[in-house]
Every structure is written in C-alpha cells, then in structure tokens.
Homo-oligomer: A and B are copies of this chain.
Amino acid sequence: MDGGVRKTGVTSSQVAQRAGVSQSAVSRSFTPGASIAPETRAKVLAAAKELGYRPNAIARSLTTNRSRIVAVVMAYLDNLFYPDVLEQLGRLLAKEDYRLLLFTGLADGDSDPVFDQLMQYRVDGIVLASTSLSSALSEECAAAGIPVVLFNRTTERDAVSSVTTRNREGGRRVAEFLLAGGHERFGYIAGLESSSTNRDRLAGYREALAEAGHTEILIEVGNYDRAEAQAAARKLLTRPDRPDALFVANDHMAVAVMDVARFELGLSIPEDISIVGYDDVGPARWDAYGVTSMSQPHKRMVEATVEILMSQINSGEIEAEHRVFNGELVVRTSARLPASGVVEVEGRRVFRPGR
C-alpha cells in the first residue's frame, strides 16, 4: 500500500550550482523586487529552464508562512448558482495569484468537520459559501489571523465577514409584486430553515404580506433540495385551498416546483398559479421556465469576497466587514403581471413599485 518513490524535483541548489551562483541568488531571481543583477538573473533563469526547475511552493510556504491558498467550502453544487460563483471565484483568485482549495460534498449548516483540514494546510483565507461555521471556530480563525468570509449567509458573530444581498427586502419585494398582481392566497417553499438567507427572505415576505392584511402563509420546506422541493410542492399544490401565489426560496427549487405544477398536476403557469424564485440563475432564464426571480448580483458579490480577503490578508487586520448588495426582481413569465410597476432597465424587465 505504499511503495511510491516520488522523484524529488529539481531544487534551487541544483540550479545554483549549474549557474555558478549561490542558492540565494536563485531564490532572489524568482522573487519579484529582490536585489539581483539582470545578467545574473538571466544566467539563473537559463539554468532553471535547462533543468526544468520550478520553485517549490510548499517549501516557500514554510518560510514565508503564507500558502497563497484560499479554502472554499461549498455545498449545493447541483444548484447552478454555486458553480457560477465557484468559477468566478477561481478566476479572481488566480488573478491575485492565489489557489483555490475546494471542500464540498457536505451539507449546509456547519462546516466544522472540514475545519481541521483547512487549518492543517495553513490556508491564507476561507470562503464559506452556503454554509456557516461554529462560533468557537470562527474565533479560532480570527485568533490565527485567517480571514473568513461567509458568502450568501450571515451570522451575528463578529470576526467573520459576510457578503450577502438584502434578503429581507428581497422577500418584501416579492410580496409587493404578488400583491400588486392581485393574488389572494400565498404560499412559501422554504430552503433550509436554519439558514439566514431563508429566514430573512421569509421574514420580509411575511412582513409585507401582513402589512397588506394577509397573515396566513402556507409553508412547506424544500431544504434547497430538488426532490424535497418537489415533495413540498405536491403537498402544497394539491390542497383544496391551493395558493395562487407561490414564493420559492431559490430558483433551483423553483424550476423543480414548476415541473411538478405543470407536468404532474397539470396546472398552468401563471394562469393557475404564479411562481417567483430567487437568484436569477441559469435555468430560471431558460425559455422553458422563464422564472420571475429576485436576482443576486453574484459577480459583484464574488468580487467583494475577494476584495475582503485580499485586504485582510495584506493588512493582517481581521475586522469583520459586511457587504450587502441590492437585488432586483426580474420579471419573466412565471407570475401574473401587476397592472403597473414593471419597467425595462438595461434590457431586463424588472419590478419597481412606484412610491
């Protein structure tokens, strides 16, 4: 089970010998801004090329105490929102000369199980997408000087930064849209109930509905899972008092719900029921669904995430920073249109209720 003899690579000393210089000179040749004569550097680079030398990032990390690796913990990869985020995250981190160590395959909620792994690799930063971290571990990170950014989740704890959108306002906006559309019976298909994102969206939705006199919301839980969302939809949509307006906590579940509504239950959308989702993710935009959905500006969110990381890594100051973005209700065909409030902005139809 272990006979592997990995050939040890070319070292800086070997290059040094070849080039007739010291190991230090080799090191400096690969360090931007180091004090090294151009011709020496040229000699070194030539020798390095001949030998196929590449600096050993592992050894470098040992001395610099910087790994140039950012850990990303991500769940729900079957929700295209996250692969999108992942791809851009990888791109931006690469631009900053950082690598991305991915941890996946665990559920939402607590990332504690993988925490040891992260720490062992002395990552320079941590991004937790669609998941959170226990209070004890957050503080351990802060103590160790490792910046942590929650993506699309929040927590009240300090020392942990976050990047989110105004989910409460988003929920309100959805309610206003559905109310303006003249709907009467409101439903909600929840994500993971413990997630801040889900709680806030529901809170805003409920709030705005209550202000309009609608205090009853039919709720089922989908846990951000396609199959569970479909089961929830079956329950909700076969009731005698079936809602005529349904807010689904994200698009990943919304398209699943639409499949059930249309193909299992034979409902017409939006004639029989209006459906509004969240995220404005790929499939929601596809013609077969055309989900009316609260968009999240994920590009800017990822940019903010990387900005926070880089700033904290470079300054060494771990001060929790909370970036909150605005969403926009993108209007498509999955929900009845209100008489007014739908406007065209930058090629998209969005809902902006008049004041």
Q: A residues near B, CB below 8 A?
A: 1-9, 52, 54-59, 61-62, 65-67, 69, 72, 77-78, 80, 82-84, 86-88, 90-91, 94, 99-105, 114, 116-117, 119-122, 124, 140, 143-145, 255-256, 258-259, 262-264, 282-283, 286-289, 313-316
CB neighbours of A103 from chain B (8 A): 90, 94, 99-100
Cβ of A4 and Cβ of B101 under 8 Å apart? no
Cβ of B9 and Cβ of A122 under 8 Å apart? yes
Which residue of B105, B256, B288 is within 8 Å of A90 (Cβ)? B105
In the bound assembly, the distance between CA atoms of A105 and B120 in angstroms comes to 27
- A88: min CB distance to chain B, Å: 8
- A136: min CB distance to chain B, Å: 10
Identical chains in the assembly: 2
Q: Given contacts A6-B66, A104-B87, are A52 and B121 in contact (CB under 8 A)?
A: no
CB neighbours of A61 from chain B (8 A): 58
In the bound assembly, the distance between CA atoms of A256 and B83 in angstroms comes to 18
Which residue of B3, B7, B316 is within 8 Å of A5 (Cβ)? B316
Q: Given contacts A104-B86, A289-B288, are A57 and B145 in contact (CB under 8 A)?
A: no
CB neighbours of A264 from chain B (8 A): 287
- 18 CB < 8 A contacts A-B: A1-B314, A3-B314, A3-B316, A4-B316, A7-B143, A7-B145, A9-B122, A56-B120, A57-B120, A77-B83, A88-B105, A90-B104, A94-B114, A99-B103, A99-B117, A100-B101, A101-B101, A263-B287
Cβ of A105 and Cβ of B94 under 8 Å apart? yes
Q: Given contacts A101-B101, A122-B9, A144-B7, are A2 and B314 in contact (CB under 8 A)?
A: yes
In the bound assembly, the distance between CA atoms of A140 and B61 in angstroms comes to 24
- A127: min CB distance to chain B, Å: 12
Cβ of A78 and Cβ of B83 under 8 Å apart? yes
In the bound assembly, the distance between CA atoms of A88 and B9 in angstroms comes to 31
Cβ of A262 and Cβ of B287 under 8 Å apart? yes
Cβ of A54 and Cβ of B119 under 8 Å apart? yes
